[in-house]
Amino acid sequence: MKVVAENRRARFDFEILETVEAGIMLTGPEAKSCRMGHVNLAGAYVSFRDGRAILKNASIAPYSFAARMPHEERRDRTMLLKGAELRKLTVRAEEKGLTVVPLAMHVGRFVKVELGIGRGRKKTDKRQHIREREVARKLKQTGDY
């Protein structure tokens, strides 16, 4: 599957505990725009309403070759999950300090979204994460690993 969008900021802001892959309900022009890679997941999140998972604030640019009116870029989109997965995500999202964020969007035969259950990092945790990454990079460059 081809990765068309990645939410790199989410992996920095959240400690990802587990991931789930979900489908997404799109209109035809939206699906074509996704296949072209015109997707932005920055600032997107998942909320739960009426027993459904809803992707909010994800931007899918209007498809330029669409014959009819362009779609709304940041509309709410329903996620397609199995019942057990939906219940698990709902329960985990209600726990204190946990949230569900989209990590990446894949395109193959269908458009899929990788969702992550994450715990927010504090500023000190982010700094520690940056330090660890820099040390690993330096070790790899010098060959002393």
Along the chain (145 residues), what's the average pLDDT of each consecutive run of 10 residues? 86 86 89 89 90 90 77 86 91 87 92 90 82 89 73
In CATH, what number is assigned to the domain containing residue 49? 2.40.280.10
Provide the domain count of the chain: 1
Residue 54 confidence (pLDDT):
92
Distance CA 75, CA 71 (A): 8
Give me the pLDDT at residue 104, please. Answer: 93
**Cα 37 to Cα 2, 7, 67, 130, 138, distances in angstroms:** 10, 13, 20, 29, 33
Range of the domain at 39: 2-142
pTM of the model: 0.78
